[in-house]
Structure 1
């Protein structure tokens, strides 16, 4: 006998609870609505993504030191990011399938351990080739964590609160980024550059502590577990790539446009996240401490953007939120890259709206992808589309690296604006999912 729950069981129960408990309408109502198990899942996903961010940003923050240590040009340093993101596409897609077949929490722990181990290994790399290999392997875990964690929390959340709940999970990226910037400033102020970049990578062992806690305290949503154990088809690439036909509507169109959306958003984001620290140091002449100060404004804006975007995606809808911040991100990128020399105060001030817009666009992203796919292939669909976009979008930072010699880093940042334009166009092929319950 199938144990698959009837449609809307999860969300119907939550809606009734919302009606009985008006306190869930307050500023933290979304958190109370999760219940004890959901809050632990939220904490696990929040911590995993924050540490994922921390381990990712060890590279952009140490890029200038790495280039000097190994004698690299801008194209070679840009390749670090591209390799990480391309390999992360494979890791993320596989993690999504794994999450559908063996469970969200188990897949999440595997991704965290993977990115932690290979981040630490980067600190021991003796040459450029070895570092490139370890960074690629780090991408296997890095690619899977976000998709798996987002699905885990989405399945504990009602449609009413899903945007702001997953926006709060997304805000942990800014927390990890801030922690990395703080440690970078501290380490590079106390240790010679030739050793400091290694120390930064070694601190990437922190996520191991999270896994120990998750193993005992975090569990999959009961309804999702029931679907997985029912024996129904699940975790299949064929299912999300099947075109419409006599047997059903198919998911191919959704998958293609969702991957294109992901390409644009991440192409824009990783262009900026990878090259702004280098831009501040090399073209603006800022010191380590000065770069850290400017990044503080950018990261503060990012944190506020994640939380604000999460609330707006519940109020405006998924597509309007992404459209709005795609447009604003284009404006901010072009303004930031064209600030005249000597106007560094304006550069400092513009860091906040730039960080705000490039992050707010992500707040509706995880809830949107979760709602586009049914439970049996939700991890697969979200993992595949998000990470395919990450792999294709990875071309953008490399283009900036190779064009930096002739255009300057600031001029080449225009590719970030192009990415956000692609994201806006991709929405034309996708439906609005605001209010959709996860059956």
Structure 2
């Protein structure tokens, strides 16, 4: 019997477990997660108003309820938890599916001022991640700047513009909903350093901005026209072409006096975050222009945009894992078809999948073929891996190390507690937002 540990219960981890049990009728899989809740970014990264995408949890649930799959939540692998060497002793193979845990920085003066955050920190707050910090993101904020042109940038822009009526039916934690509903934000600037034909958001996400109640979009056609592909987008890939066409339709519309305005800005590069009363008060941008090689160059023209809140959404980055090699340039673990590469050699029993393997690229579905490639490599090694004798059941070893894992029954207890909380607030499901509440719910009826 092949016993495999999958570290991480997001889409890449669950798809890895799914492939393992589908392709080998004898394999048993433990899916470990640092959090007591499964699903990774589907639970803590997908916007709460995107119910269709969040419903993917139902598909992931089916895998985690498979008779040869165990969910073990609340298990930290590495410093402060179970040492990686000990984990490898307990399993024939370990697959790391831990994603990209940090954000890229702008690297400009003022970036560390109060009021300046990564978009991920903001998302974690309104998604009830137990590590999130409630620092009054929107308190006293009239004008917000979102730096980036991907789907996460669109998500946080949309959340800043949403009202209580649209957010109440979601599973957003009550504190975040109350804060956003009472937010004084009237202007949201989503700013990209390049043009509309190079933006990374999808057209569906973009169009959602145009359907927000009591919110108007402001797009400057002269700014769009700096993009060489703006006049004739027919040669662009389909998504970029549709993006340009949508933006062209919005260009030049005047202000109508709505409660909120979303300003979609292009060809502006942040140069400095400017302080006012000890916190962010504005962002200094330099106008850019195409350099003819797919990038942009500065023009020496500058513009200041008022902002009491700045959210950077300029990409993610993986972090080193205990006992594994790490490529600082790419933020990934070196590998050959998922097998971890130590120098010039792969080590049987160590594998990677997901963002820590390929970098923060693709959509949720990209994890399916990625996981299958890794699992194929692992199963090719299976005849050699099963020769290792395992000392004991991993759960017994975890308990001996002082770690009481949250089993599937514990997660189901959390779900019931969140449903009860929602009912008490006159809403549907409302997420528990802190470690104490989550663990108390899990321990109440977990076995």
TM-score (norm 1): 0.23
TM-score (norm 2): 0.23
Question: Which structure has the highest strand share of the two?
Answer: 2
Question: Which structure has the highest helix share of the two?
Answer: 1
Q: Return the index of the structure with the highest Cα Rg.
A: 2
Q: Which has the higher contact order (CA 8 A, sep 6+)?
A: 1
